[in-house]
Amino acid sequence: MLKFPALFCIIMANVARSASEKYVDLGHDIFEGPMQWPGSLPYKRVDARKGFSDSGYWYETNSFCSSEHYGTHLDSPSHFAEGKWTVDQIPLTHLMGPGVVIDIQAKVEEDPNAELTTDDLMEWLGEHGPLPDGVILLLRTGWGTRFGNRTAYYGTDGNDTSKLAFPGFSPGAAQLLVGYEAATGRRVFGVGLDTPSLDYGPSTLFTSHVEFSSANIFGLENVANLKKLPTTGFHLTVMPMKIKGGSGAPARIIATLPEVRSASIPTQRDSSATSLITKASLHYYMGVILLLLQGCI
């Protein structure tokens, strides 16, 4: 059994951690709308039952139909590489890890079909240092602000893929990231961005997809809220729906980052929420301590 001083230290460390971390939801809401990839099934929800039962309790259940690749989602390696991991085969250890952000918004403002190039990647590495082992690399293009407006987001409101326009990863950058482990011993587990596809809009061969998939590197598409992330120093947790044999799946993505008060001044609302969470944690742990002191535990 843990002695009181040791347990007290563990409890207070958890309180400190809960007060010093914050979380960012990187997913768009899934809703009925025209945001599916051209030619794919749209998301459709059917209210099967909703209301009070004859016995008086509330009961609600729904059904839905959707493409695997709708909304914020994960592309499994099998999406573009035969025999590679399906969604359910991706190791859990690959779905959690350090995150980094590379920003190309300035390029995208000049060219909606801009790509992350090898030069961009080498410049980032020169400024920020090597990628951490097991990294999930996110590309911030600024395109996510258009999500919800099909024409603005895809470049077309129809199913003609020859008219698609949005940024992405260049094949050269994909090759560099795939070869990063052989060159440095550090692995890239996943990549993602705030557009509909890892490849830029005009792509017809989806070469970047193929490069990543062939190396069992998963992709994250339609990622939200990248503007809320720092360049480095955060942790990502990716939670795709575990579809057996799936080429992809809707995913909840959470970023955990240390709260750096000097970087921004929290709003009154944010401060109040943080205060409430911290107080609740302290009340819980102090209750445990009192029970320990009274010999109840």
Q: Is 165 helix (H, G, I), strand (E, B) or coil?
A: coil
Half-sphere exposure of 57 (CA within 13 A, CB side): 2
**Is 252 within 8 Å of 24 (Cβ atoms)?**
no
* Backbone angle region of 140, left / alpha / beta, with phi > 0 → left and psi within -120 to 50 → alpha: beta
Distance in angstroms (rounded) separating the CA atoms of residues 202 and 242: 31
The pLDDT value given to residue 290: 53
pLDDT over 90 percentage in the chain: 72
Tell me 249's DSSP state: E
Task: In whole angstroms, give the CA distance from residue 221 to residue 215.
Answer: 18
Query: Does residue 129 or residue 42 have the better pLDDT?
Result: 129
Between 117 and 258, residue with greater pLDDT? 117
Q: What DSSP assignment string belongs to 211-236?
A: HHHHTT-EEEES---GGGS-SSSEEE
The pLDDT score that the predictor gives to residue 168 is 98
With a cut of 70, say whether residue 291 has pLDDT above it: no
Q: Rounded to the nearest 5°, which phi and psi values hold at 168?
A: -175, -170
The pLDDT tens digits for 26-47 are 999 998 888 898 888 889 999 8
For 60-92, how does the pLDDT look when each residue is reduced to its tens digit (9 = 90+)? 999 999 999 999 999 999 999 999 999 999 999
- Write down the pLDDT at residue 25: 98
CA atoms within 13 A on the CB side of 125: 15
Q: Does 287 or 189 have the greater pLDDT score?
A: 189
Structure token pair of residue 152: 């603005």
Q: What is the dihedral of CA 233, 239, 240, 242, to 10 degrees?
A: 140
What CA–CA distance (Å, rounded) separates 119 from 149? 32
- The three-class DSSP label of residue 267 is coil
When comparing pLDDT for 12 and 30, which is higher? 30
Cα first-last separation, the chain: 11
Average pLDDT, the chain: 87
d(CA 282, CA 15): 7
- Beta-carbon contacts of residue 263 (< 8 Å; ≥ 6 apart): 230
How confident is residue 191, by pLDDT bands cut at 50, 70 and 90? very high
* Residue 257 confidence (pLDDT) above 50: yes
**In the structure, what pLDDT confidence band is assigned to residue 272 with cuts at 50, 70 and 90?**
very low
- The pLDDT tens digits for 204-230 are 999 999 999 999 999 999 999 999 999
Q: Does pLDDT of 8 surpass 60?
A: no
pLDDT at position 21 over 50: yes
Q: Which residue has the higher pLDDT, 13 or 160?
A: 160
Output the pLDDT for position 13.
55
